[in-house]
């Protein structure tokens, strides 16, 4: 289904933020904002939910803890018991202290890598994937607001454009997405 999308470009993040506030107050649904840097406080204005990346980080970390514990128990206790510095590895619990630093490191490793990969996958920005932003200038010094007509059935394109022009945009573009 073809969809009409309006891209409004700003050259200042504060102007965009104020504009977004006014538009949202009028009942316009803004689907996305593209910016070279995180705009502080834009998420609640355009109604983006809080990220759940933190919860995933906890789960990845827990996975790391479990894997490290299980792995070291297998390597050092069950499969090939080792005696290091006069501390024979008969049981995991008695030697638990020695395994804590590695468990910690592996927890951090899993949490960090898990988060980074999840972030790239979720945003479809893995290396080599086509760019998601509508205009290359949003990676430099411009800010683009995206409004989809299908999400704003109350308004037609002309009405939206008039409202957008009142908010201090510098460029307006309309595209048909397949």
Partner 1 sequence: MEFSISKKAKTVTTALMGVGLLFTAIGIFTSISDHHFATRLLVNGLVNSFFFFALGLGALFFLALQYATETGWYASVKRIIEAVAGFLPYGMGILALTLLTITFLDGAHIYSWMDPEMTNPASHHYDEIIDGKSAYLNKPFFWIRTILYMAVYFIFLRGFRMRSLEEDRIGGTELHFKNYRKGAIFLVFFAVFSSTSSWDWLMSIDVHWFSTLFGWYTFAGMWCSTMVVLVLLTLYLKSLGYLPKVNDSHIHDLGKWTFATSFLWSYLWFSQFMLIWYANIPEETTYYLMRIENFKFIYFAMFLINFSFPMLILMSRDAKRNAGILSFVGLIILTGHWFDVYVMVAAGSMGAGAKLGILELGIAVLFVGFFIRVILVNLTKSPLTPVNHPFLDESIHHEI
Nearest approach in angstroms of CB 175 to partner 1 is: 34
> Around 178, how many Cα atoms within 13 Å sit in the side-chain half-sphere?
0
Q: Which of 96, 116 has the CB closer to partner 1?
A: 96
8 A C-beta contact, residue 45 and residue 17:
yes
Q: How far is the CB of 97 from partner 1 (least distance, A)?
A: 5
Q: How far is the CB of 61 from partner 1 (least distance, A)?
A: 10
Contact residues for 19 (Cβ-Cβ < 8 A; gap 6+): 8, 10, 145, 164, 167, 168, 169
Pick 63 or 133: Cβ nearer partner 1: 63
82: number of CA atoms within 13 Å, CB side? 9
Interacting residue ranges for partner 1, rule: CB under 8 A: 40-41, 54, 58, 85-87, 97-98, 100-101
Q: Decide whether 58 or 70 has the Cβ nearer to partner 1.
A: 58
CA atoms within 13 A on the CB side of 31: 13
Q: Nearer to partner 1 by C-beta: 40 or 178?
A: 40
Nearer to partner 1, 86 or 130 (CB): 86
């Amino acid at each position: 289904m073809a969809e009409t999308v309006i891209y409004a470009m700003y050259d200042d993040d504060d102007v965009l933020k104020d504009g977004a506030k006014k538009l949202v107050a009028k009942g316009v649904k803004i689907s996305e904002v593209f910016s070279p840097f995180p705009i502080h406080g834009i998420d609640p204005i355009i109604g983006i939910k809080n990220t759940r990346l933190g919860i995933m980080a906890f789960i990845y970390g827990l996975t790391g803890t479990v894997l490290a514990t299980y792995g070291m128990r297998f390597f050092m206790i069950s499969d090939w018991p080792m005696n290091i510095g006069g501390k024979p590895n008969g049981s995991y619990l008695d030697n638990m202290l020695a395994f804590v630093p590695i468990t910690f490191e592996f927890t951090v490793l899993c949490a960090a890598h898990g988060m980074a990969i999840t972030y790239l996958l979720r945003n479809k920005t893995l290396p080599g994937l086509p760019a998601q932003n509508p205009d290359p200038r949003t990676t430099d010094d411009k800010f683009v607001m995206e409004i989809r007509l299908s999400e704003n059935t109350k308004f037609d394109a002309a009405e939206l454009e008039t409202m957008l022009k009142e908010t201090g945009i510098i460029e307006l573009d309309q595209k048909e997405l397949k």
